[in-house]
Amino acid sequence: MRDLFVEIAESVRRNKLRTALTGFAVSWGIFMLIVLLGAGNGLMNSFVQGGGGFATNSVSVGGGWTSKPYDGLKQGRRIRLDDGDVATTGGELFVDNVELVSATVGTNATVCYGKKSISGYIDGIYPAAQMMEKREMLAGRFINDKDIADSRKVVVIPESTAQGLLESGESAIGLLGKYVKVGDLAFRVVGIAKSDRMRNSRDLYAPFTTVKTVYGKGQEVGSITFTTKGLDTEKDNEEFEKNYKSVINLRHRAAPDDERAIWVWNRAHQDVQMKQGRNILSTALWIIGLFTLLGGIVGVSNIMLITVKERTHEFGVRKAIGASPWSITKLIISESVAITAFFGYIGMFLGMLTCEVLDKTLGQAKMSIMDEEIAMLVNPGVGLDVALEATLVLIVAGTLAGFFPARKAAGVRPIEALRAE
């Protein structure tokens, strides 16, 4: 092994400039690959961070209109979800696939604080909604079980809604612990939630039970949201949805296969699409990077060919004194891999450094989309897996680059090689 390295070092030393120039092409190829993938990751991360309003395994259900007659009832009938549906969803029937269940019931109401008032929308929710909708708190707490049990008159206000109740320049946090008037009743503000661009800036959250009793909603439920488990494939998800729909439809005397009686929004599908998009992007970037790298590889192959030509006589001597064709092949391929790997790693290192720089610059730059600040790149850079893959690519590339020259060198008959020069 050490002898091999000595031989490679000798050969490279004799052709410093040529090796360095070709090596630059390899470095450039890997550099581009790493930077492209790193920036691509940053873009995807920013996308996910900006758009991921809900847990990916959450399903929302709402009432719709029947699209076909069933059980003696006409089509076009309004279906309203009720407490029974909530109980069924969380009950025995779906125990294998349903984890947490939350329901909402909402109503429009005027919300006042001091002199300011807005026409808001009170969303009666369960504590589980926080996790399902990925609600992050700015201050205070979210609705909890005690609020539900006691039907407390408390609200959680998203920052953007709070802004409407405050003079410009005042911090939303200032509302924490204060009372706001919702309709005729005073609700205490127990938390300020971070807002995001996916939601209305007139929403307020109150305990499900409070909204129900105060606004006399009876059995009615606006929508049901629950998280699923054990649904690993697209097919599992579809089967579950079909089953779920038929059960809920039947509770409302709608055809089990009526697609419109209730609407079901399963984020798992969205998640699959997101993953597909990510894969397509990274595949495209890999292809671009690999093509850039190809130039470098052709270069290495080229210098190996020249090297082989120059050293034909030497190889003849080696063969005459007992070098097997394989030992010559090995020498050329190792040299090619060594050059490719060495310069590849320089490129990889510089690429990662550039990703760091991107993180410090573009990563901090925000752009404003729909009232929300999002970073252009979030954590750009590549993981260890990509570094390992790139290493593999380099070794394969080096082997390929050395293969044909090596075959040529090994194939020359010693007598011809000795005559060369």
Partner 1 sequence: MLIELKDVNKTYNNGQPLHVLKGINLGIDSGEFVSIMGASGSGKSTLLNILGILDNYDTGEYHIDGRLIKNLSEKQAAAYRNKMIGFIFQSFNLIGFKTAVENVELPLFYQGVNRRKRHELAMQYLDRLGLAGWAGHYPNEMSGGQKQRVAIARALITNPKIILADEPTGALDSKTSEEVMQLLGELNRQDKVTIIVVTHESGVANCTDKIVHIKDGVIGRIEDNREHHSSMFGTQTIMK
Residues that bind partner 1 (CB under 8 A): 2-3, 10, 14, 313-314, 317-327, 410, 413-415, 418
Give the shortest CB-7-to-partner 1 separation in angstroms: 9
Give the shortest CB-321-to-partner 1 separation in angstroms: 5
In 3D, which of 97, 110, 106 has the Cα closest to residue 63?
A: 106
Q: Which is nearer to partner 1, 131 or 323 (CB)?
A: 323
Q: Which is nearer to partner 1, 175 or 328 (CB)?
A: 328
What dihedral do alpha carbons 259, 260, 266, 271 form, nearest 10°? 80
Q: Which is nearer to partner 1, 135 or 318 (CB)?
A: 318
**For residue 287, with 0-12 CB atoms within 10 Å meaning exposed, 13-18 middle and 19 or more buried, which class applies?**
exposed
Q: Which is nearer to partner 1, 147 or 335 (CB)?
A: 335
Q: Which is nearer to partner 1, 10 or 145 (CB)?
A: 10
Give the shortest CB-10-to-partner 1 separation in angstroms: 6
Give the shortest CB-419-to-partner 1 separation in angstroms: 10
Give the shortest CB-409-to-partner 1 separation in angstroms: 12
Helices in 311-373 by DSSP H: which ranges? Answer: 312-320, 325-360
Give the shortest CB-411-to-partner 1 separation in angstroms: 9
Contact 102, 114 (CB under 8 A): no
Give the shortest CB-18-to-partner 1 separation in angstroms: 15
Contact 85, 251 (CB under 8 A): yes
| 5 Cβ neighbours under 8 A, 6+ residues apart | 338
Q: Which is nearer to partner 1, 116 or 419 (CB)?
A: 419
CA–CA gap between residue 421 and residue 419 (Å, rounded):
7
Q: Which is nearer to partner 1, 284 or 320 (CB)?
A: 320
- Mutual orientation of helices 384-411 and 267-310 as an angle, nearest 10°? 30
Contact 327, 411 (CB under 8 A): no
In 3D, which of 120, 144, 138, 125 has the Cα closest to residue 205?
A: 125
Residue type at 66 in one-letter notation: T
CA–CA gap between residue 120 and residue 123 (Å, rounded):
10
Give the shortest CB-11-to-partner 1 separation in angstroms: 8
Q: Which is nearer to partner 1, 297 or 410 (CB)?
A: 410
Report the SS3 class of residue 202: coil
Report the SS3 class of residue 254: coil
Q: Which token pair is 341?
A: 């790997």
